[in-house]
Amino acid sequence: MKKERGKKINVFPLTQDDYQLIEEAKSKIKDLYQDDKHHVGSALRTNSGNIVSAEHIEAYVGRITVCAEAIAIGSAISNGEKGFHTIVAVRHPYSDERNRELTVVSPCGMCRELISDYSPKCFVILEVNGELVKVKIEELIPLKYSRES
């Protein structure tokens, strides 16, 4: 149990498979990075053990941007996958940033909804208080709307 901004959340240590997933996301965005077009890569491990990776796509009109997590989820579903075990997103710095380190980032609200809708037991890898951990998606989207509520 860790505290994040005053809230206690259940965290799980990363496994070798989780580090492999992070490296896959990093590799994807390193290969495809372009200023103002692609700066986030994502990788997910499906319940069947397959890894699907993607990069985000950005248009000059920001509302058209599609997150890397959403593209990876869509690709997995389009290829017959039924659920996801773990997902991660990695941010590549823009070319004018001094810090050149790729960092694990938390999914946005829309991606949290998407992950939860398609795989409510999915783990999300993120950084909490300077440490890489994984949490269940339900920790990131408590009291989620559902038809049963």
Active-site residue numbers?
69
CA distance linking residue 44 with residue 46, whole number of Å: 6
Whole-angstrom CA distances from 92 to 9, 35, 60, 116, 145 are 27, 10, 18, 25, 32
Name the 3-class secondary structure at 46.
Answer: strand
Radius of gyration for the chain, computed over Cα atoms and rounded to the nearest angstrom: 15
Q: Which two tokens stand for residue 58?
A: 């950005």
Burial readout 20-37 (b: 16 or more C-beta within 10 A, e: otherwise): ebbebbbebbeebbeeee
